[in-house]
Amino acid sequence: SKIKYKPVDEDHPMLPRPPYALNKTAAENMYSFYYSVHGLKTVSLRISNPYGPGSQMKHSKYSMINWFIRQAMDGYSLKIFGDGEQVRDYIYVEDLAEAFITASITSECYGKVFNVGSGTGVRFIDMAESVVRSVGMGNVEKVPWPKDYVNVETGDYVADITRIKAACNWKSSVSFQEGIDRTVAFYRVNQRHYW
């Protein structure tokens, strides 16, 4: 659904429309049910946009940053829709793994929902330009929004990570640029395994 306010906290209205979003919301409700009724130690994590080493690079479906790194390393243009001013919250994969581990072993987290992100917004154009700089190849090209994408664009998203910081004493530690540089370095060495 469209973002109503930023940063987005766990109480932000959810109006899931696509089946993917409906399934995620249903899963959260099931975890809450099993925690409340059966005492199962569950935690729901709402993950922003992960990136980093080890992700598949065959298409953009799972990580725009990783896809853009591949495109830049192959010397292609990184195509961004519109003016590139849309904002997203990106989280480095090691920080994400740390959040999963910390939340799963912290009893104060059980039965709750948490946003997991960096808590910092990055404009899409800045993300793409960071990739090009780090890779040393490629370029950024602005293209018009496809008609079918305009309707699903949520608006700017930055995760409010106040709750997970308080409950789990967790926050991301890898800066955006450091994460980009680490990811590029990984794929320079391991490119043949992921292309």
Whether the predicted pLDDT of 151 surpasses 70:
no
Query: Is residue 25 in some structural domain?
Result: yes
Dist. CA 17–CA 174, nearest whole Å:
33
> Who wins on pLDDT, 158 or 21?
158
Residues of the domain holding 101: 19-194
- pLDDT, tens digit, 9 for 90 and up, residues 163-184: 999 999 999 999 999 999 999 9
Number of structural domains (the chain) is 1
Report pTM: 0.92
Q: Are 130 and 80 in contact (CB under 8 A)?
A: no
Total residue count of the chain as it appears in this document: 195
What CATH number is given to the structural domain containing 104?
A: 3.40.50.720
Cα dist from 131 to 41, 65, 135, 155, 183, whole Å? 39, 8, 6, 22, 10
Say if strands 43-47 and 77-81 run parallel, antiparallel, or are unpaired. Answer: unpaired
Query: Is residue 4 in some structural domain?
Result: no
